[in-house]
Amino acid sequence: MFDSEALSKAVQGDREMTALIKTAPRLDIPIVTSALTTLEAWDPREASRQSVWNWTLSRIRVVHTDDRVIAMARDMLKTAGLHGHKYAIDAILAAVAGQEAAQGAEATVFTSDTDDMSRLVAGHSVRVEKI
């Protein structure tokens, strides 16, 4: 799972994130993010990098937000004691990760904000890795 920082780094050519994107398919490991995370990561100053965005997103499964994701995100915010105004998109990504884990997938969220993400996914079989 890529949060907005991981996605931004991938588009900016970060070696670690790019290597992960290139290696994951060979290992049959899906890279997933939420649709809202792609919007959060978008920087209009990088419009000239549209081809890099397209390449990156073509290798990531983008999960759209539905009522189940929203309900789970709301529960995660409540449990973590966090407010949706500041943490809504992180909570959506955490809920997507929680759903992946509930379906038996190994879910790891790559994020620059491990503290809040760890609070959101507490109680779910989701790993959080700092980037």
What pLDDT, in 10s, does the model give residues 46-66? Answer: 778 889 999 999 999 999 999
User: pLDDT-based confidence at 43, cuts 50/70/90?
Assistant: confident
Backbone dihedral angles phi then psi of residue 83, each to the nearest 5 degrees: -95, 140
The predicted structure's pLDDT at residue 45: 85
Give how many domains the chain has, as a whole number: 1
DSSP code of 64?
A: P
Backbone dihedral angles phi then psi of residue 12, each to the nearest 5 degrees: -80, 0
Give the residue among 42, 89, 39, 40 at the shortest CA–CA distance from 69: 89
Q: Is 130 exposed, middle or buried (0-12, 13-18, 19+ CB in 10 A)?
A: exposed
Tens-place pLDDT, residues 63-118 = 999 999 999 999 999 999 999 999 999 999 999 999 999 999 999 999 999 999 99
Question: Which residues, listed in sequence order, are joined to residue 33 by a DSSP beta bridge?
Answer: 62
pTM above 0.85, yes or no: yes
Expressed as residue numbers, the domain containing 62 is 4-130
CATH value at residue 85: 3.40.50.1010
